[in-house]
């Protein structure tokens, strides 16, 4: 191939100026096309300083590249002979500028080089690696920024501040290490007991610090203090119970002395309902009703104290002090007083409809007042009186009241079940015509029939509730929990 290239090149270069003993192929590596490709494409990462020679000029090929070695080798074997006339052996100026470029020679050299060195030049489809021409890469050669030396000369941190920060960092590291070592330890019963003993205060160790001779006396003193504390608690409970009983007896006296149903309602409003309204639990600002109730209650209390305090100081109305708040007293006394009111109204005034206003009045006082005033007994009395007065027309209202009791988490008792069973028995008799054709038509109506079917469903609910309550009480008596496991 080298001889073929030399033969083709004789047309443009005089034969006597070129030696035929050596190849002309290495000269092709210095053409402008090869220079551009070799400069821009590289298989290794280099910076801009790697391409410079010692004289400051850029070299076309790196020193360790195969192109550089081939070029130097070609220059060593290439010899240009001078002519007889002392010429340089190079083509003339006109001849160099007017000749046509030997594209076939260049292309042939490329093909020969590709066949000879297939691994030197990648295919055109292969991705070329373009090396960025930069002289400096920031943080090159650093594995971690912490290993880099800090330039303290340009820092604004003073030496004292630097020492302080170093102490803080050391303390943080020590705490982290101690916490990590503490987490690795296995927590057992001995460790828990040791920690608990270390946390015992001086007051807890007071008895153990006595000598053995005085230890029985210290134990006796401790038992005496505990007994005194228990006695004080019992005395307070007795005082609260006495205050509650005194309040109940006083209000019941007024209710029992009522001659009419209206007077009975007025006494209940004056001594119970106004007192609850005076608390104004659910209103951000006092309402006119609450203000009127509060004024009425203060007036009543003042009159009572003025009449009875000088005669019987123990009968002071009400028996409330710092040991029993007004709310606690009303919470304990209101449900029994309301139930007592219903009993008196049913016994003394059986045809009165005023007791039916009790539940709506309690709802008007607010949810908090209704929560501690209403009870299962009050609901049962309301449903019983309603059914006694209105019969079949009250069945639908009874079902609504039962649903309200279930939503309000009010339990069902034997009085509730008795009322439900009475309604079902009366419905069966009325539909059978035992009470005449008129009541048979009433009980057989569509509206009453739907209400009766709803009462049948509520019978099952009430029975299940009472059964669960009975089982719960039996487990408590036997010392067995709901899951069947005995209490320890």
128-180, pLDDT tens digit by residue? 555 555 555 555 555 544 444 455 556 677 888 888 888 777 877 776 666 55
* 438 domain residue, yes or no: yes
If you average pLDDT over every residue of the chain, what do you get?
A: 70
456: in domain = yes
Query: What is the extent of the structural domain holding 12?
Result: 2-116
- Which of 109-123, 346-360, 424-438, 442-456 is the least confident region? 109-123
pLDDT value at position 459?
92
- Asked if 12 and 94 sit in the same domain, the reply is yes
Same domain for 367 and 240?
yes
Q: Give the mean model confidence (pLDDT) for residues 178-190.
A: 54
The Cα–Cα gap between 249 and 272 comes to 13
pLDDT band at 260 (very low <50, low <70, confident <90, very high): very high
Q: Is the backbone peptide bond immediately before 85 cis, with ω within 30 degrees of 0?
A: no
Question: Do 332 and 463 share a domain, yes or no?
Answer: no
401, pLDDT greater than 70: yes
Residues 66, 13 share a domain: yes
Mean pLDDT check: name the lowest of 92-101, 207-216, 383-392: 92-101
Same domain, 306 and 232: yes
Domain boundary, last residue among 89, 116, 143:
116
Q: Of the candidates 428, 424, 476, 409, which has an alpha carbon nearest to the alpha carbon of residue 455? A: 424
**Range of 10-19, 157-166, 327-336 with top mean pLDDT:** 327-336
Q: Are 246 and 351 found together in one domain?
A: yes
* pLDDT for the residue numbered 247: 85
| pLDDT over threshold 80, residue 341 | yes
Domain count across the chain: 3
Whether pLDDT at 448 is above 70: yes
Question: Does the pLDDT value for residue 313 go beyond 80?
Answer: no
**pLDDT grade for 70, boundaries at 50, 70 and 90:** low
Q: What is the mean pLDDT of residues 189-197?
A: 54
99 lies in some domain: yes
> How high is the pLDDT of residue 378?
92
Q: Looking at residue 317, what is its pLDDT?
A: 46
Look at residue 419 in the predicted model and tell me its pLDDT: 94
As a whole number, mean pLDDT of residues 11-20 equals 50
- The reported pLDDT for the residue numbered 275 is 86
Task: Reply yes or no on whether the pLDDT at 410 is more than 70.
Answer: yes
Same domain, 470 and 366: no
């Amino acid at each position: 191939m080298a001889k073929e290239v030399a033969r083709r090149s004789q047309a443009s270069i005089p034969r006597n100026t070129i030696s035929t003993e050596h190849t002309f192929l290495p000269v092709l590596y210095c053409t402008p096309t090869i220079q551009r490709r070799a400069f821009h494409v590289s298989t290794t990462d280099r910076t801009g300083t790697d391409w410079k020679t010692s004289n400051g000029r850029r070299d076309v090929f790196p020193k360790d590249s195969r192109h550089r070695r081939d070029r130097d080798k070609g220059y060593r074997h290439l010899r240009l002979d001078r002519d007889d006339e002392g010429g340089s052996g190079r083509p003339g100026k006109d001849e160099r500028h007017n000749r046509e470029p030997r594209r076939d020679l260049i292309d042939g050299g490329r093909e020969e080089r590709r066949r000879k060195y297939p691994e030197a030049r990648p295919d055109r489809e292969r991705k070329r690696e373009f090396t960025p021409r930069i002289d400096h890469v920031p943080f090159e050669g650093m594995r971690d920024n912490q290993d880099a030396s800090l330039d303290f000369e340009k820092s604004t941190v003073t030496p004292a501040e630097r020492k302080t920060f170093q102490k803080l960092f050391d303390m943080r590291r020590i705490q982290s290490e101690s916490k990590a070592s503490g987490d690795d330890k296995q927590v057992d019963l001995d460790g828990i007991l040791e920690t608990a003993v270390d946390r015992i205060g001086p007051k807890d160790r007071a008895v153990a610090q006595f000598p053995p001779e005085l230890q029985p006396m210290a134990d006796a003193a401790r038992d005496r203090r505990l007994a005194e504390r228990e006695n004080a608690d019992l005395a307070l409970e007795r005082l609260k119970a006495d205050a509650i009983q005194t309040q109940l007896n006083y209000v019941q006296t007024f209710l029992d002395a009522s001659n009419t149903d209206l007077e009975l309602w007025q006494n209940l409003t004056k001594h119970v309902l106004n007192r609850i309204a005076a608390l104004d639990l659910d209103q951000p600002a006092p309402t006119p009703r609450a203000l009127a109730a509060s004024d009425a209650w203060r007036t009543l209390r003042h009159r009572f104290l003025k009449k009875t305090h000088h005669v019987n100081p123990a009968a002071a109305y009400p028996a409330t002090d710092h040991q029993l708040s007004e709310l606690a007293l009303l919470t304990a006394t209101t449900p029994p007083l309301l139930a007592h009111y219903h009993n008196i109204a049913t016994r003394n005034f059986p045809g009165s409809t005023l007791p039916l206003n009790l539940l709506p009045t309690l709802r008007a006082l607010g949810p908090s007042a209704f929560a501690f005033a209403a009870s299962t007994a009050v609901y049962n009395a309301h449903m019983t009186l309603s059914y006694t007065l209105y019969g079949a027309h009250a069945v639908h209202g009874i079902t609504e009241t039962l649903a309200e009791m279930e939503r309000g988490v009010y339990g069902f008792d034997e009085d509730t079940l008795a009322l439900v069973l009475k309604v079902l028995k009366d419905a069966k008799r009325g539909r059978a015509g035992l009470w005449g054709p008129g009541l048979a038509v009433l009980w057989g109506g569509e509206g009453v029939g739907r209400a009766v079917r709803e009462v049948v469903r509520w019978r099952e609910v009430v029975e299940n509730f009472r059964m669960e309550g009975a089982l719960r009480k039996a487990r408590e008596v036997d010392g067995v929990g709901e899951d069947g496991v005995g209490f320890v």
